[in-house]
Structure 1
Amino acid sequence: MAKAEPSRLRQTLSTLFKFGVYGTFLALVALGVAVAVAMSSLPSYSELVRRDDLGQTIRVRGADGTILVSMGPVFGEWLRYDEIPPIMVDAMVAVEDRRFRYHPGVDPIGIVRGIQVSVTDGGRVRGVSTITQQLARNIFLTSKRSYGRKLREAILALAIEGRFSKDQILELYLNRVYFGGGAYGIDAASRRFFGHSAETLNLSEAAIIAGLVKAPSNYSPTADAEAARGRANVVIDLMRRNGDISAAEAASAEPAGVELVPTPKQNSVRYFTDWVLPQLDTLIDETVEPIDVWTTLDVEMQRAADQAVNANTPKGAQGALVSLDRDGAVRAMVGGRDYVSSLYNRATQAQRQPGSAFKLFVYLTALESGYTPTTTVVDEPVNINGWRPRNNNRSHSGAVTIRQAFAQSINTISAKIGAEVGFRTVADMAQRFGITSPVNTHPSMVLGTSDVRLIDMTRAFASVAAKGVAVTPYGIRRVTTADNRLLYNHEVNESRVLVAPWVAAQMTDLLQSAVMTGTGRAANIGRPVAGKTGTTSSNKDGWFIGFSSGLTTGVWMGRDDARALPGLQGGTSPARAFHDYMVKAVAKRPVEQFETEVPLPDWQTEEDGVEEEYLTNPDGTPVLGPDGQPLIRQPDIQSDLSPEERDAIEQGGSEELSQDWLDDAIRRPAPPPRDPPPPRRQPAQPTAQPSNEPRAI
């Protein structure tokens, strides 16, 4: 019996081996059939030389239908393989597929390496596409990542290798691949970036072009010249290691010294188009047919915004502006003073400290917690575990209302409010209103020490203007084909309420006071305006964000290197830029008065001078009874009584159970008379914070 077990094991292994051989054979047969079918269906070489299937023409239109910019593929001359500089071929093979000359279209070694990397890093398979596979994907497939697409890509690559020579494949690839900046093919890229034909490319130039294929948007000289030159050094090192160039040739190459053709003059509208066009990938599937993108941008408002930013931004500084309509439509966007000199969009990408503009969230939290614009607080020295915030005027005003404290941007009051309501609660309010960057919970956060984006802050103010309903910025209204077929149409969602209407109304009251009597007076445009200034320590950043007549506009100014700008304050240059822009932007709109008096709901009011406490849900809303009315919390007055005391109360019969009788029965002293409103408790003592606090205005 003992000898039977090995016999069965050998029999099982033999069977498995046979199944494996048969399965492999069938798989190879199926693969061969698939490749043969693919080869028979491939276009001829002359058909593939045509490039009219590359890219998509896109016309971006403003709100009035004006064409803001036209975008589409740019082609150079088609270069035959013998016309392409060998250094260009070597550079491309070195960086994209160093075993190109030896594999049949699919690189088994690369596949194994890619799988190993994906397993060790826990990510998807990468680094396994050969030049032939990339060509197959660019011509016949999409960039959608899936195992099915990778399998089809591999079959097509094998078919291409069986149909065309290696030189023909390289010729097709180098004349069709996208290199960024709208350029398809090495000749278009060479003319676009260097101003001459690809036939005269040198080592450094070839390395720059070869390095672009990995990420054209990131490494394109039109987007980031330094990144393109840095990537070229990687290509040159790979060429040296592959033996394509000598160490001396690699050392003599100077990508940093390559002169690039200046980007054609563009106006500030490109900040907006650069922001909206990447969103098309998530809105539509059409990637071939020409399309029209109808946007929200108002050409006249954009012109006014550009003028206001350039006229008021201090010398050596940058400025940015975002203007949102009441539904979130972006009417104007300026990301910097000059798009040509800097493509960096400071309106949507830059994260800077907002200073006292962040107090919007501090006071929203206070109002939601029970404060009102007329609540009295004391401006006095504050010490929160060693952190002693100072006011801008280095003095204290004593008892002031919340309205005065906000209008004058009193830092100590913000610190006291933050300590009372909780710094985490203030951070939650900021994130509730659309702040997407991290918000710290140190005590100094109430003065705006967390970096934020201008578009996020503007969105938050717009949500207050919308009576507490969330406003989401958007730039694309609809997308149509050339024959007017609708591909996408934007729908505004007004269902998300951030705060109750009376909280938004009271906040608008405070914001209006800041412009009428406070730090934002320079933003007054002769009609109701509500807004807030912001200035960070050492005058590194200046902000003004406000709204009027349904339009909310945010302005930021500062240096990109975050160095101090003497004299820069939110109430000076940013507020003046807001004024200059808004005067023109709202000129054709009716004057709108702010609704600052919104009645409180019945469940929050007091009757007959008695303050009733209602049962509430975790989110602060009242618990409703069967009749739909809020339930009042009933005190359990007998919970602490002895049995004798309970009997005494129950034996009271028809006697009136007055509060005095009850106090006497349970031997409890009568409570002192209440003085409405009750004084606010002193700030808590949160985590210590270094004393180098920002000066927020």
Structure 2
Amino acid sequence: MTAKVRLLAVTVIAGILVAGLAFPLVGGLGLLSSEAIVGAQDTAPGVIGGDMPSITTVTDMNGAPIAYLYEQNRQIVRSDQIAVTMKAAIVAIEDRRFFSESGLDPRSIARAVVNNGTGGSTQGASTLTEQYVKNYDEYVAAKTPAEQLKATEATFGRKLREARVAEQLDHSLSKDEILTRYLNVVYLGNQAYGVAAAARTYFNTTPDKLTVPEAALLAGMVQSPTAYDPLNHPQAATGRRNVVIDQMRQQGELTPEQAAAATAAPLGVQAPLTGLANGCVGAGDDGFFCSYVLDYLDQEGITPEQLRSGGYTVRTTLDPVAMAAAKQAVDAKVPPTQPHVADTLAIVQPGATSHPVRALAANRGYGLDAAAGQTTYDLPVEPENLGAGSVYKIFTAATYLLGGGGISNVIPVPPSGYASPLSPGFVVANDGNYPGALTLQDALAQSPNTAFVKLEETTGVAPVVNMAVNMGMTSLAKPTSGNGPSIADTVKAQNQASFTLGPTPTSPLELASVGATLASHGTWCPPDPIVSLTDASGAPVSLPTTACHQALPPQLADTLMTGMSKDDQPGGTSAASAVAAGWNRPTAAKTGTTEVSESGAFVGATPQMSGASIVFDDSSTPRPICYGTPPTSCATGNLFGGETPAATYYQAMTTVLAGQPIAPLPATDPRFVSGGNRIAVPQEIGQPVDQAAAALRAAGFVVTTSQVDNRAPAGTVVGQTPGGGGGQGIQGQTIALVSSSGKVAAPPAAPSAP
């Protein structure tokens, strides 16, 4: 086709398009207009009113950003947040007739028709409106590489679809609305989508403050962000920028003097560019908290995928003062690169209706550089497998009080080597020598193991496990290995007397939650990291919330706070660490150390704040830990919860509570100080279970029943905890009865003959 004929064809087809007759005739030109029409129908609603992927911002409690989440580095801005210079620059170089003519360019479509029919290349969009449609198709509507390729393919069908949608846009949106959406969607290189991200990336500024040279540079990059990259191709970028400035001058947007000054200006691009870290890895010391926020929101139905594209603002409960104090404390006690030793700290604020999480810290950095000691495993949140030791004695004490005991009751302290009848073969040792009996309050402070295993014989194992879950150790009740039995179920089924000594996996955050339950007069609330969640438009997003519940009677919780108040006093297991930190606040506290000192733990609560620290070997091959400055991995451990874990807590909390009044612990209740009425426990072994339960209830006890295979007649009591026969119990105490099923378990199969 000659140039003259081509020009004539373009002119004729353009006239048809202007007359609105083009689309029915497209089939006659060898193209299927139905595909373009369907594509336009699918695209138009999103282009006109759809959302674009944009950055989600995670902030602390004061609104300061701590992390950004995105699949495209884009911040949506309003028209009034974009400098007039930016709008003028993009119109000058890309579509000078934008404000005066239609968003449809019939001549460019006609050229595409002619080129398509003669085998030539299809030329790109020419109006800003058509360019907006193309950009939207490529960067928003397309979800896969194949869809992105289709959105940019050089075909007349795509050109026609863009034209049809552009025509609809012209009738649906104002010119300024179209221009604003264009400037929000367009890609400007170096992972900057939209003018706001580009302004920050290249100039570390906001789009409303872009100068003429800056706006001209960005406008010039639209044609080819790679070719005009100001860092890699500064000369080309400068030349292109100056072309834009000259176009602005020709169109009356700049005086000759202004244009000359802008042309003479340096590029002014930041080197290195101002990047925006993506995800919790970019949150620095707040990374563990950020990770918890994402997991929490995911459980509440806001997925990570939604966050990376939804432009939400997540205002968290993170207190920057508490966070800084927590991080400083864990790093001071255990250096971040110390092999085999992790130090964690979680801080939760008590309350009647919510328990906001204020800090989650670890001496490890949150990140991907394992050589530098970094990890993305949420150390302050996830249960660590080595346990928390004697901290779990809190749950045995609480169960004992609930069953009728008091903190001033004297409980027996068997010597080391005590074999508990709860678990055959389980022999308990103490670390050191203790008197033969202690009050419960003194036992909590001095922590003899045998005393609490003996006490567990009074309460039963199952009620202690249930108490732990109710007070905040919720992960114990979650299924393991998919739908496997929970740890709580396993401990109860096996009647593991060792539970009170804390060998089970334990989360620092859940321990802090337990302290918050006590400090909230027995009310448990989920450890909440969210203050508010708003969508891209600023509208609040409601989240389903787990209701708080009364885990303990208020009087019991208040009295148990006093029962735990001697730990930091002379003779208590954390007294030395408290003195070293200058600690002077009444505190309910408990230490814990696991066997061979592979981990140590501390939980402490004042009326204003609760915190828990666990120090443990975080390697894949845990070893004992030896106390020192800093603690080290060793062959025979000697770390105790009253040492590094307690010292971590006291250092951090001294800063966190600085300036707040020294609050007294709540008043005690006589019932939970002295205990309930003591009565004889009937011996019910050999009796029918229904009759035995009725007799015990009539005597003032609470009864639980379970069944085991046994050759005794079905329904006969074969086990009772605590036993009767002259012993005394406390009114309201739980008695566990075990009855026979009347069946004898089948013997194991004989080995097959060789």
Q: Report the TM range for the smaller structure's normalisation.
A: 0.5 to 0.7
Output the CA distance in 1 between the equivalents of 2:141 and 2:605.
Answer: 50
Structure 1 residue runs of 5 or longer lacking an equivalent are 1-31, 77-134, 143-152, 169-175, 177-181, 185-198, 200-260, 614-631, 636-671, 687-697
Contact 2:56–2:314 (8 Å) recurs in 1: yes
Report whether the alignment pairs 1:456 with 2:510.
Answer: yes
1:95-174 matched pairs, under 5 angstroms? 140=141
Deviation at 1:591, TM superposition (A): 1.6
Deviation at 1:293, TM superposition (A): 1.6
Report whether the alignment pairs 1:593 with 2:664.
Answer: yes
Output the CA distance in 1 between the equivalents of 2:726 and 2:39.
Answer: 95
Deviation at 1:673, TM superposition (A): 13
Match of 1:39 in 2: 39
- Counterpart of 2:400 (choices 366, 380, 383) is 366
1:52-131 matched pairs, under 5 angstroms? 55-74=53-72
Instruction: Name the aligned partner's letter for residue 404 of structure 1.
Output: D
Report whether the alignment pairs 1:539 with 2:597.
Answer: yes
Output the CA distance in 2 between the equivalents of 1:301 and 1:588.
Answer: 13
Instruction: Name the aligned partner's letter for residue 67 of structure 2.
Output: V
Contact 1:318–1:559 (8 Å) recurs in 2: yes
Report whether the alignment pairs 1:377 with 2:411.
Answer: yes
Output the CA distance in 1 between the equivalents of 2:510 and 2:734.
Answer: 33
Output the CA distance in 2 between the equivalents of 1:374 and 1:336.
Answer: 39
Report whether the alignment pairs 1:433 with 2:471.
Answer: yes
Contact 1:478–1:490 (8 Å) recurs in 2: no
Output the CA distance in 1 between the equivalents of 2:698 and 2:738.
Answer: 31
Partner SS for 1:531: strand
Partner SS for 2:380: coil
Output the CA distance in 1 between the equivalents of 2:154 and 2:395.
Answer: 65
Match of 2:180 in 1: none
Instruction: Name the aligned partner's letter for residue 337 of structure 1.
Output: R
- Counterpart of 1:504 (choices 557, 573, 579) is 557
Report whether the alignment pairs 1:392 with 2:431.
Answer: yes
Match of 1:418 in 2: 456
Instruction: Name the aligned partner's letter for residue 514 of structure 1.
Output: D
Q: CA, structure 1 residues 33+557, in 2 after alignment: closer, same or farther (shift >3 Å)?
A: farther
Partner SS for 1:426: helix
Q: CA, structure 1 residues 565+284, in 2 after alignment: closer, same or farther (shift >3 Å)?
A: closer
Deviation at 1:555, TM superposition (A): 0.7
Q: CA, structure 1 residues 270+681, in 2 after alignment: closer, same or farther (shift >3 Å)?
A: closer
Partner SS for 1:432: helix
Q: CA, structure 1 residues 371+585, in 2 after alignment: closer, same or farther (shift >3 Å)?
A: same
1:265-664 matched pairs, under 5 angstroms? 267-281=284-298, 282=300, 290-313=311-334, 315-316=338-339, 317-327=341-351, 328-340=355-367, 341-352=374-385, 353-381=387-415, 382-384=418-420, 385-393=424-432, 395-435=433-473, 436-437=475-476, 438-439=487-488, 440-441=491-492, 442-481=496-535, 484-488=538-542, 493-494=547-548, 496-516=549-569, 517-521=571-575, 522-523=577-578, 525-561=583-619, 562-567=622-627, 568-598=639-669, 600=671
Q: CA, structure 1 residues 139+677, in 2 after alignment: closer, same or farther (shift >3 Å)?
A: closer
Contact 1:419–1:683 (8 Å) recurs in 2: no
Output the CA distance in 2 between the equivalents of 1:71 and 1:335.
Answer: 22
Output the CA distance in 2 between the equivalents of 1:73 and 1:681.
Answer: 56
Q: CA, structure 1 residues 539+675, in 2 after alignment: closer, same or farther (shift >3 Å)?
A: closer
Instruction: Name the aligned partner's letter for residue 617 of structure 2.
Output: R
Partner SS for 2:624: coil
Match of 1:623 in 2: none
Instruction: Name the aligned partner's letter for residue 427 of structure 2.
Output: R
Output the CA distance in 1 between the equivalents of 2:349 and 2:363.
Answer: 21
Contact 1:419–1:684 (8 Å) recurs in 2: no
Deviation at 1:387, TM superposition (A): 1.7
Q: CA, structure 1 residues 592+681, in 2 after alignment: closer, same or farther (shift >3 Å)?
A: closer
Output the CA distance in 1 between the equivalents of 2:283 and 2:61.
Answer: 19
Residues 639-692 of structure 1: per-residue CA shift (max 9 Å, x gap): xxxxxxxxxxxxxxxxxxxxxxxxxxxxxxxxx9999989x9999999xxxxxx
Output the CA distance in 2 between the equivalents of 1:633 and 1:334.
Answer: 51
Structure 2 residue runs of 5 or longer lacking an equivalent are 1-31, 75-135, 159-184, 186-190, 194-225, 227-277, 368-373, 477-486, 628-638, 683-696, 701-724, 740-754
Output the CA distance in 1 between the equivalents of 2:150 and 2:401.
Answer: 69
Contact 1:416–1:682 (8 Å) recurs in 2: no
Report the RMSD for the aligned CA atoms in angstroms: 5.1
Output the CA distance in 1 between the equivalents of 2:320 and 2:66.
Answer: 9
Residues 583-639 of structure 1: per-residue CA shift (max 9 Å, x gap): 0101122221111412549xx977xx999x9xxxxxxxxxxxxxxxxxx9699xxxx
Output the CA distance in 2 between the equivalents of 1:594 and 1:682.
Answer: 32
Q: CA, structure 1 residues 38+675, in 2 after alignment: closer, same or farther (shift >3 Å)?
A: closer
Instruction: Name the aligned partner's letter for residue 561 of structure 2.
Output: T
Q: CA, structure 1 residues 415+161, in 2 after alignment: closer, same or farther (shift >3 Å)?
A: same
Output the CA distance in 1 between the equivalents of 2:377 and 2:679.
Answer: 58
Contact 2:343–2:614 (8 Å) recurs in 1: yes
Contact 1:380–1:398 (8 Å) recurs in 2: yes
Instruction: Name the aligned partner's letter for residue 345 of structure 1.
Output: D
Contact 1:56–1:72 (8 Å) recurs in 2: yes
Q: So what's the TM-score if we normalise by structure 2?
A: 0.50
Contact 1:271–1:334 (8 Å) recurs in 2: yes
Deviation at 1:566, TM superposition (A): 1.4
Deviation at 1:563, TM superposition (A): 1.5
Q: CA, structure 1 residues 599+264, in 2 after alignment: closer, same or farther (shift >3 Å)?
A: closer
Output the CA distance in 1 between the equivalents of 2:400 and 2:665.
Answer: 21
